[in-house]
Amino acid sequence: MALWFAALLGLIQGLTEFIPVSSTAHLKIAPALFGQHISPEAYTAYIAVIQLGTLAAVLVYFARDLVGLATAMVQAPQSHDAKLPFMLAIGTVPIVVVGLLLKHRIEHDLSSLYLIAGALIVVGIAMAIIDHYATGRLDPRPLASLTYSDALLVGLAQSLALCPGVSRSGATICMALLLGFARSDAARFSFLLSIPAVAGAGILEASKAFRELGSSAAPAIAVGIGVAGVTGYAAIAWILKWLGSHQLVGFAIYRIACGLALLAALAAGYLQNV
């Protein structure tokens, strides 16, 4: 893989992982858009591995929060902070179960660009509706009121993101909004919930990436992870600040526009479906 393309994929991963536009959709479109021919197995493994860059971004950005949670588990085991790691674990179960059961179908049957375009549009419309509903709420729930059932529901929403085009952050933030949380708190829990899911996928796919791409892939993997980490950190800082005073409707419009543009490109023959 050319290093310039590896850097581009890292940039796409870092910028889109934490905003609700679907990093997977953008990464799936990139090879067709830039004329890069990579085997589906190798490409799937590569984009899973470069997520380790965005994982590092989350760990660094929320380092103080994570230390606080660990401290609470020891010093105040009955506090909400002490229970939050267990809630994150419960929220991770659905995506692990669905991912293991449907791994083959996800990697082969859900790669169609038509499906991605449809998911971008449908979830974009749903996001606009949910965000409008949340905008009228006068008294959002604080993150400290999160329950185990809330965590499970957000985790179930996260598992929908195994379908390219849905967006992990979009699905989890929207579910948290439906449960009554403020946008910034919904995003914060969404990003913390990404840690075990992204770590698991990246570690499991690392050996596969080297096997499929060969030992020469090491520089491309390093570049992708590095660029994804730097841009991912910047994206987290920006989106958390943005959601403090802005709505999601702009992202919804972007998703719908991207989906329609993708359908038009496919119909005109500018892109070949995969």
Mean pLDDT of the 16-38 span: 87
User: What is the rounded CA–CA span in Å between residue 69 and residue 120?
Assistant: 35
Sequence-ordered list of residues with C-beta below 8 angstroms from that of 60, at least 6 positions apart, any chain: 233
Handedness of CA 54, 96, 40, 252 (dihedral sign): negative
Residue 26 C-beta-side C-alpha neighbours within 13 Å:
19
pLDDT band at residue 49 under the 50/70/90 scheme: confident
Residue 136: pLDDT band (50, 70, 90) is confident
Per-residue model confidence (pLDDT) at position 125: 96
pLDDT in tens, 224-274: 999 999 999 999 999 999 988 888 999 999 999 999 999 999 898 888 776
- Residue 131 pLDDT greater than 80, yes or no: yes
3-state secondary structure of 181: strand
- Residue carrying the six token digits 């800082």: 237
105's tokens: 């179908």
Radius of gyration of the chain (CA): 18
* Contact indicator for 84, 231 with CB cutoff of 8 Å: no
Model confidence, pTM: 0.88
Could you read off the pLDDT of 76-123 as tens digits, one per residue? Answer: 888 988 999 999 999 999 999 998 888 777 766 777 889 999 999 999
Backbone angles phi, psi at 2, to 5 degrees: -65, 140
- Residue 244's pLDDT is 81
Cβ–Cβ contacts within 10 Å for residue 114, how many?
A: 12
Q: Which pLDDT score, from 0 to 100, does residue 1 have?
A: 78
pLDDT score at 113: 87
